[in-house]
């Protein structure tokens, strides 16, 4: 059997996902020493940690599904490389939009900041769709052993993701905390994929 052509795309993507997810931690603020004490200060920063967990989980889930898709993709063409770079653009911007959200906690603009953050999630989800639509529409890019049922399940599943984040975007216009919390719920939802479809392939 021919060697898998996508090894380097996967390696490059893994590195971008890994750096983006680790940079989330470097943006967390250390509260300055002083009253009312470290624990109270850390607890008072809970919106910062909520947005960190939400973005960490979202990038982790995005990586897991990137992994699932490329387990089915065997060959790459120029368009696939470009669409993958667009997807990585979305991932790269996520730590920035989370930093905006964290910076605006307590400001009247916090809901707008949450909408900007959700906007990068929607964009990334759209790029995910374009990538997978291109790959699944060109059977020569796919592994010949790929299960057609698994492909159609993934098609349906990925198609609804932008709509879910659109819901979070609309919710952010009412409450930034509710929208960030919903994003965490979506992470949990995708972490347990059998809820979506009992026939979704395991890995």
**Applying CB under 8 A, which residues contact a copy of itself?**
5, 8-12, 14-26, 28, 30, 32-34, 37-39, 42, 56, 60, 63-64, 67, 70, 75-78, 80-82, 85, 88-89, 92-93, 95-96, 99-100, 103-104, 107, 109, 112-113, 116, 191, 193, 202-203
> Do 169 and 119 meet the contact criterion of CB atoms below 8 Å apart?
yes
State the minimum distance, in angstroms, from the CB of residue 91 to a copy of itself. 8
Task: Measure the CA–CA gap between 149 and 169, rounded to whole angstroms.
Answer: 31
> Do 186 and 124 meet the contact criterion of CB atoms below 8 Å apart?
no
State the minimum distance, in angstroms, from the CB of residue 65 to a copy of itself. 10
State the minimum distance, in angstroms, from the CB of residue 109 to a copy of itself. 4
- Residue 1 pairs in a beta bridge with none
State the minimum distance, in angstroms, from the CB of residue 42 to a copy of itself. 7
Q: Which of 73, 171, 175 is nearest to 121 (CA)?
A: 171
Nearer to a copy of itself, 12 or 133 (CB): 12
Q: Which residues of 46-69 are buried (b: 16+ CB within 10 A; e: fewer)?
A: ebbebbbebbbbbbebbbebbebb
């Amino acid at each position: 059997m021919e060697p898998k052509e996508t090894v380097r795309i996967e390696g490059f993507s893994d590195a971008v996902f890994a750096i983006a997810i680790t940079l989330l931690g470097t943006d967390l603020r250390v509260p300055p020493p002083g009253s009312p004490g470290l624990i109270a200060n850390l607890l008072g920063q809970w919106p910062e940690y909520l947005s960190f967990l939400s973005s960490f989980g979202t990038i982790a889930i995005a990586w897991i599904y990137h992994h699932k898709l490329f387990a089915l993709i065997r060959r790459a063409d120029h368009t696939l490389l470009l669409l993958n770079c667009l997807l990585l653009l979305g991932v790269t911007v996520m730590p920035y939009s989370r930093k905006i959200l964290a910076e605006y906690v307590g400001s009247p603009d916090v809901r707008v900041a949450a909408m900007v953050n959700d906007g990068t999630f929607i964009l990334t989800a759209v790029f995910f769709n374009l990538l997978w639509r291109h790959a699944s529409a060109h059977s020569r890019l796919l592994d010949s052993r790929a299960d057609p049922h698994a492909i159609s399940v993934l098609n349906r599943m990925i198609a609804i993701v932008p709509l879910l984040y659109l819901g979070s975007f609309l919710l952010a216009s009412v409450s930034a905390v509710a929208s960030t919390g919903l994003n965490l719920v979506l992470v949990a939802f995708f972490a347990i994929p059998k809820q979506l479809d009992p026939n979704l392939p395991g890995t």
